[in-house]
Amino acid sequence: MEPAEIVTVDREQIACDGGKGGLGHPRVFLNMEGKGQIDCPYCGKRFVLKQGSAAE
């Protein structure tokens, strides 16, 4: 299944709220834990760690 959107980030711990204001979803905090990417369980947005970014 293709992700709804791919977002490049520079840290392993991120938060997602759907990005649509009142039409989004509850804010969830996601941790890639060295995997390099993670999908939001609500909206399917994929967060990918920018190459060369150091893990916190």
Structural domain spans, the chain: 6-49
The answer to whether residues 50 and 36 touch, using CB atoms and an 8 Å cutoff, is no
pLDDT, tens digit, 9 for 90 and up, residues 9-41? 999 999 999 987 778 899 999 999 889 999 999
Which listed CATH number (3.40.50.10420, 1.20.810.10, 2.60.40.10, 2.60.260.40) goes with 6-49? 2.60.260.40
pTM, to two decimals: 0.84
pLDDT value at position 55? 56
DSSP 3-state assignment of 21?
helix
Residue with tokens 């834990």: 33
Identity of residue 18: G
The answer to whether residues 47 and 13 touch, using CB atoms and an 8 Å cutoff, is no
